[in-house]
């Protein structure tokens, strides 16, 4: 796609091409293909209208698949949460998807907006709390259409990296009360470094949402990831060596390298994250659910073993979840 669109869009040149190709993304799924339809000059309003058009069928398909996998009907759902930072509408995708699937009129809904790439983890915590407190199933949908936010032509290196990394995805997960098969949500933890809030921003402009990424993000993450994971695990008498699977949000190759280095992980520990980055790109909040699905397909974590979910985003914020396979 560099030669087909982005070389011209990003000003060309060997530096920009090296940055683009170094993002670790080999292919992506995009709701809006820039080779067919260039949205970079569209107003934000026009992009939001397109978001609704594209998001509803994708969200419906993802939630329906998750419910079928869990053996549940749509009207069994007590809470439906939607996480997205790439589109807004009222009535929202939560209402529209719930209605399209036939969820009950009294289903409780929650929208987690503009938290960025880590949103899946606090949203997972919220639906998990609901399922535990109310004794009813809950569903989380993470739906991101980053392709709608292609920015006008520029040779800004930060924009080259953003254009190289991000892809679109919809992923859903069902959380049920009780002790059935699957992954148990054991704990959730967070840490925010507000002094580095300018390192990662997602600004609403007249021409869509604009991502700004600082080259200093991996260094900040490196200061926090090991202490945060240690605190989470120690609350349950665990160490990193007790973790069988790592579902780490692939914000980019340097992010994954930083996590692996500071947690002293085996060389293959983040293979699922690297594979999702290569095959899907960074799909914001949906990505870590895609990594979990890849691990699950590979039989990880094994029965009775633990997994740690890690995701990072604006703030700078790190969110972590501890899961156990039943």
Q: Concatenated DSSP letters for 177-235?
A: SSS-SSEEEEEEEEEE-GGGGGGEEEEEETTEEEEEE-TTHHHHHHHHHHHHHHHHHHT
Beta bridge partner(s), residue 311: 319
- The length of the chain in residues reads 326
Question: Do residues 93 and 56 lie in contact, with contact meaning Cβ atoms separated by under 8 Å?
Answer: yes
Question: Do residues 276 and 290 lie in contact, with contact meaning Cβ atoms separated by under 8 Å?
Answer: yes
Catalytic hit among 10, 117, 142, 283: 117
Collapse the DSSP code of 322 into the 3-class scheme (helix H, G, I; strand E, B; otherwise coil) and give the result: strand
Cα–Cα separations (whole angstroms), residue 103 to 60, 63, 67, 311: 11, 11, 11, 30
Assign 3-state DSSP to the chain and report helix, strand, coil percentages, each to 5. 45, 25, 30
The residue among 286, 261, 255 whose CA lies nearest residue 112 is 286
CA 274 to the chain's CA centroid = 14
> SS3 string of 100-150?
HHCCCCCCEEEEEECCHHHCHHHHHHHHHHHHHHHCCCEEEEEEEEHHHHC
Is residue 316 reached through a cis peptide bond, with omega within 30 degrees of 0 on the bond before it? Answer: yes
Q: From CA 185, how far away is CA 156, in angstroms rounded?
A: 41
Residue 171 CB: number of other CB atoms within 10 A? 28
- 85 tagged catalytic: no
Q: Which residues are catalytic?
A: 117
């Amino acid at each position: 796609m560099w030669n087909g669109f982005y070389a011209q869009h990003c000003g060309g040149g060997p530096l920009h091409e090296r940055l683009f190709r170094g993002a670790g993304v080999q292919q992506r799924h995009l709701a809006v293909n820039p080779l067919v339809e260039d949205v970079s000059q569209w107003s934000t309003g026009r992009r939001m209208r397109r978001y609704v058009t594209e998001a509803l069928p994708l969200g419906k398909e993802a939630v329906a698949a998750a419910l079928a996998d869990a053996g549940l009907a749509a009207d069994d759902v007590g809470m439906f949460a939607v996480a997205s930072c790439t589109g807004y509408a009222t009535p929202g995708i939560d209402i529209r998807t719930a209605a399209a699937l036939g969820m009950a009129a009294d289903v409780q809904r929650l929208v987690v907006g503009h938290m960025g790439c880590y949103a899946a983890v606090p949203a997972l915590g919220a639906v998990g709390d609901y399922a535990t407190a109310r004794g009813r199933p809950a569903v989380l949908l993470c739906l991101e259409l980053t392709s709608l936010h292609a920015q006008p032509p520029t040779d800004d290196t930060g924009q080259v990296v953003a254009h190289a990394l991000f892809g679109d995805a919809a992923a859903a997960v069902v959380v049920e009360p009780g002790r059935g098969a699957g992954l148990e949500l054991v704990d959730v933890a967070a840490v925010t470094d507000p002094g580095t809030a300018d390192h990662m921003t997602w600004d609403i402009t007249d021409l869509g949402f604009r991502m700004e990424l600082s080259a200093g993000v991996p260094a900040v993450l490196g200061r926090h990831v090991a202490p945060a994971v240690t605190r989470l695990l120690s609350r349950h008498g665990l160490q990193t060596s007790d973790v069988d699977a790592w579902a780490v949000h692939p914000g980019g190759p340097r992010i994954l390298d930083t996590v692996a280095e500071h947690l002293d992980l085996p060389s293959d520990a983040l293979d699922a994250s690297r594979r999702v980055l290569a095959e899907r790109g960074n799909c914001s909040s949906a990505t870590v659910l895609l990594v979990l699905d890849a691990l699950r397909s590979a039989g990880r974590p094994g029965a009775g073993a633990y997994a740690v979910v890690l995701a990072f985003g604006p703030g700078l914020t790190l969110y972590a979840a501890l899961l156990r396979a039943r």
